[in-house]
Structure 1
């Protein structure tokens, strides 16, 4: 006899935890949610908005389903999730959530690529925002935008114009500047070399020299599609890869 469907509230509770690695991966809830995407997508997006509107203390310390919802929405690849997820990533308490920051750094760009709706501006806004977490800003630069350009979802000219325009808005975080220079190199923007030289002269980096940029530009095949740029897959399998 088949098990009765899980109520939406029970699915949500199964996804809720304080830390990403708390307890077992709720496989049944994930499978049930995937079978009922149209029903559950509004509920999941509502939970994201609830997290965003909460105080920073609640965001950091209270159990939440958004850590696992992030994976589910990457699996579903629904463009309606793109802007809510961009607002979530904009939240430092999400990308720096205890125990989740390294997970986000590994998969964040792949989730973004899965739900991307064609407009990079929400990602540009995060990079510009000095209050956004430095890891999120770095990840969007060196991974998300590079992956979108590689898949021809964002054109190279758009990336180049953004990197030029954002130069005076990046602030003082060396890891963000490393993301900026790495993105320019990764997509082969040799015309930005003078700006990279200027940034080095201004001591924007902790450890980066123009030879690294030149070497990356000279080896266009060194940034071909690899595991880090792979299409986001099944939420359960993706979570298993992070738990193990």
Structure 2
């Protein structure tokens, strides 16, 4: 059996890609698939040549969500393992130092929608759709709800969760779930254009900024400012920050050292 996940690296661009590789099954997030994604992300996290990570998928669907065949006739401990493995994957997306872009070429449903929502940025094909239809099969999308509600807000998340209806890519962009919508034939180009733009920055600065974003986002404003004041001061004394500010003042291109 082929591996459910494969990886690709473009060393010149500093971009690594994790590809969901079960197109014949609409890329279900089986335990194997999720563990494969997590392992790939952790490998890239330690690779200094990788500036940006893309999560993409083979075939017409991004992911139809959990592999329901793994969830029939199981006891509660077995079910817990599935969702613990899922949570570990979603957390890893946000914990690795590199920005992660979801390249969504087709339906992103249930945990597939959760995976897209967990990524730092989402570029979607205009024919992609997003949905959390678990309510229609008796299994409310409670874990997808965590990522979804943090992307689109309470009322819109509840609409998706309670009705189980999908939204198109344009609506997902309007609601804040998607950053860029592209025609299908331009999806890869737009993803790599975005990744290349991000990869121009200092990798250390990107890592500091990504970690800081998730640390402050749910804090009260006064606590967020206190934490980010220290974060920005610490960032300012790094070599790359000093180099970047000097390069700006001297009207030259900075030379990043990642320190």
Q: What TM-score does the superposition give when structure 2 sets the normalisation length? A: 0.33
- Please state which structure has a larger fraction of its residues in strand: 2
Q: What TM-score does the superposition give when structure 1 sets the normalisation length? A: 0.34
